[in-house]
């Protein structure tokens, strides 16, 4: 299966299992003993404590893709035990329970693979040119974390 390693998608365009299967078919997977997958979803309670009506994700696409590629490369270079990493982020209007981000890693051992996914997620939240506006019953706000 030949899929992009990083991508910005609309809701419903990709499923987590598609990414897991792509990782399983990647070069170097035969050395792996772990796949770790993270699937972010829209929380039903907002930062202001009220019901979330929607999250609106926006991106400066070119910069966002460059930063996702750089994050991917940094993780893979920094941890030779991690053999594959894919990062897909949804850019769309999303309701409670809908998927926001997918990060899937394959590595030789579980500890390093879990660490790689967590590190990638933190970098996506702080380094990617992707923004989210939270709309709740009390109002709306741009969220930075």
d(CA 76, CA 80): 6
Burial string for 76-108 (b: 16+ CB within 10 Å, else e) reads beebebbbbbbbbbbbbbbeeebbbbbbbbbbb
Q: What is the pLDDT of residue 72?
A: 98
Q: Is 78 helix (H, G, I), strand (E, B) or coil?
A: helix
- Structural domain spans, the chain: 6-143
Kindly report, residue by residue over 89-141, the tens digit of the pLDDT: 999 999 999 999 999 999 999 999 999 999 999 999 999 999 999 999 999 99
Residue 40, pLDDT > 60, answer yes
pLDDT band at 13 (very low <50, low <70, confident <90, very high): very high
Give pLDDT, residue 2.
63
Architecture field, domain 6-143: Alpha-Beta Complex (3.90)
Q: Three-state SS across 7-28? A: EEECCCCCCHHHHHHHHHCCCC
d(CA 64, CA 43): 23
Q: Is the pLDDT of residue 1 over 60?
A: no
Q: Looking at residue 3, what is its pLDDT?
A: 79
* DSSP letter (8 states) at residue 141: E
Q: pLDDT of 47-101, one tens digit each?
A: 999 999 999 999 999 999 999 999 999 999 999 999 999 999 999 999 999 999 9
């Amino acid at each position: 299966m030949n899929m992009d390693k990083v991508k910005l998608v609309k809701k419903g365009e990709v499923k987590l299992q598609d990414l897991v299967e792509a990782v399983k078919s990647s070069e170097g997977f035969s050395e792996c003993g772990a796949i770790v997958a993270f699937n972010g979803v829209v929380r039903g309670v907002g930062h202001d404590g009220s019901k979330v009506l929607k999250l609106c994700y926006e991106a400066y696409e070119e910069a966002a893709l460059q930063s996702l590629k750089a994050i991917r490369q940094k993780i893979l270079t920094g941890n030779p035990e991690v053999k594959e990493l894919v990062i897909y982020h949804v850019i769309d209007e999303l309701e409670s329970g809908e998927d926001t981000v997918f990060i899937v890693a394959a590595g030789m051992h579980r500890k390093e693979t879990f660490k790689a996914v967590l590190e990638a997620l933190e970098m996506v939240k702080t380094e990617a040119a992707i923004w989210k506006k939270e709309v709740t019953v009390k109002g709306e706000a741009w969220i930075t974390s």
